[in-house]
Amino acid sequence: MSQMGKVYLVGAGPGDPDLLTVKALRLLKAADVVVYDRLVSAEILAMIPEKSKRWSVGKSAGRHCVPQDQINPLLYDLAKRYPSVVRLKGGDPFIFGRGSEEAEYLGQRRVAFEVVPGITAAAACTAYSGIPLTHRGMSRVVHIVTGHFRDDEPIDLDWERLTGPESTLVVYMGLSNIERIAEELMRAGMPGATPAAAIQNGTTPNHFCLASRLDRLALEVREAGLSAPVLLVFGEVVRMAEVMGDWFCPTTLTQALVGER
């Protein structure tokens, strides 16, 4: 292991470069090579020194630039050649970022690695939209799930567990399945009038939040032409966007929520 470099699994946050942690920025500035995902913003990539080599492994739904089973050995190979390898991931490495798979692969091959947490989209994109994940009298439980499964497997979630009162549901990568998600939630007992929101390009200059209700969200998202990355949020806390939504996002589109229970 002493002859190998070290791999840093670094969370880049959801897009706003000011949300990078101090440690993430320090490692980025010192990296010999940076392996980065599609969701890492251009502003953050601009912080990579010219001396550092760059390696894009960007992935998007339906189009895989570099499959995960090729990324893992790539990190191993780079660690044999460079002292400091930064694996830069959008959001947090361990929240739907497959960072744990990379850490497991490296650990099994005795490659030193370090995990640097990043601010995940569920926390940042909602905050920038004026939607608190928890709020007294509205939500004291937060569920975070993915709406997209490996190899395009069908969505198989415990829908009834996700529809409890005083809870917030956040769905990553759910845009392509938004109709199915809404149908399953209503079938499991979530009222159609439940406040819901879709947040596109959260925390970036193109941040856009469409706030609506469960039974109308899918249609309005399609009509608005939203495209990935989009975060879906369901729960009473979405009502707070009417109060706080404009603090960051001038393009917040809020449909009538209050009084439509």
pLDDT tens profile 13-56: 999 999 999 999 999 999 999 999 988 999 999 999 999 999 99
Fold assignment, 121-254: 3.30.950
Domain residue ranges of the chain, discontinuous segments joined by +: 6-116, 121-254
pLDDT at 133 over 50: yes
CATH superfamily of the domain spanning 6-116: Tetrapyrrole methylase, N-terminal domain (3.40.1010.10)
| Residue 151 pLDDT exceeds 60 | no
Which residues are marked as active site? 37, 59
Nearest to 141 by CA among 165, 159, 167: 167
Is 121-254 in the same CATH topology as 6-116?
A: no
Q: 53-102, pLDDT tens digit by residue?
A: 999 997 554 455 788 999 999 999 999 999 999 999 999 999 999 999 99
Question: Global pTM?
Answer: 0.90
At 251 the pLDDT is 55
- 210, 257 contact by CB (below 8 A): no
Q: Categorize the per-residue pLDDT at 221 as very low, low, confident or very high, splitting at 50, 70 and 90.
A: very high
Enumerate residues 6+ apart whose C-beta is below 8 A from 42: none
Q: What pLDDT score does 155 carry?
A: 75
